[in-house]
Amino acid sequence: MNETQAVVKRIRQTLENEPRINLHRYPLKVSVVQGAVVMEGEVADIAAKKLALEMAGAIEGTRGVVDRLCIVPSERRGDGAIRDSLVNFLLNANELRNCTIRVASNGEFEMLREAPPDGSGSIDFDVKNGIVMLSGTVISLSHKRIVGVLAWWTPGCRDVVNSLNVVPQEEDTDYEVIDSVRLVFEMDPFVQPEQIDVKCSNYVVTLQGYVRTDDERRRAELDAWYVFAVDRVINNLELLG
């Protein structure tokens, strides 16, 4: 067995020990190309995707990880339907009301809303094979994270590539991540954030407090995973008695 084969074997053994990844139900292709690990296939959700990438990158002998993982969408939809739903999300989000919104159409960007010059940025997006690609410029990391979460929430979305630039540049901190997670909870009509406490340390988010149902507990955890740059979520939420 050469070193490349050994690296792939170590990665697969590590992934098999994580029940959220579930290689038996969601088999992944793992290969090494020019020293970089390439991960391909579909996983159950955003948590499985981020965990798989993190675990692969932590294996001795890896020199970077190429992410080609997508999640299994809640429903299979065409790119046009995904695009229309995301347009609705972006145009109706209060936090983005001062942003220019443009969508790719026939190789060019179609203006959906033009904000004033002193607005909160310009957001461009395209959808290909269920993958939402975001580009443009926004004024804060919170804006970037909100747009990314709205893309993940869009029915049919399989992956989000968030290439939005923040201008002027803003230092990211644990408090910035906490504020973004709290804001996402407030935007989610299926989550009541009043009894949820959010902590963060080095992009690891911990949720504590109480929720009404198992579904809300899972929804809150996934919302935190969706937030750009969050590496791990520890869900200590309890059900109300």
Give the model confidence (pLDDT) of 131-181 as tens digits: 999 999 999 999 999 999 999 999 999 999 999 999 999 999 999 999 999
Q: Supply the Cα-derived Rg of the chain in whole angstroms.
A: 19
Residue 150 to residues 3, 11, 227, Cα–Cα distance (Å) = 41, 32, 10
Number of structural domains, the chain?
3
Domain end marker among 14, 40, 71 = 71
Looking from the CA of 223 toward its CB, the CA atoms found within 13 Å total: 26
Q: Which residue range(s) make up the domain with 211?
A: 174-239
Which of 51, 71, 91 represents a domain boundary (last residue)?
71
Reference 149, options 224, 69, 78, 70; nearest CA is 224
145 or 2: whose pLDDT is higher?
Answer: 145
Instruction: Tell me, yes or no, whether 131 and 104 share the same domain.
Output: yes
The 10s digit of each residue's pLDDT in 48-64 is 999 999 999 999 888 89
Q: Are residues 161 and 84 in the same domain?
A: yes
- Label residue 1 by pLDDT band (50, 70, 90): low
Choose the final residue of a domain: 18, 38, 71: 71
* Residue 10: C-alpha distances to residues 24, 44, 47, 109 (Å): 17, 22, 21, 44
Do 219 and 143 share a structural domain?
no
Q: Are residues 158 and 193 in the same domain?
A: no
Q: Binning pLDDT at 50, 70 and 90, where does residue 3 land?
A: confident
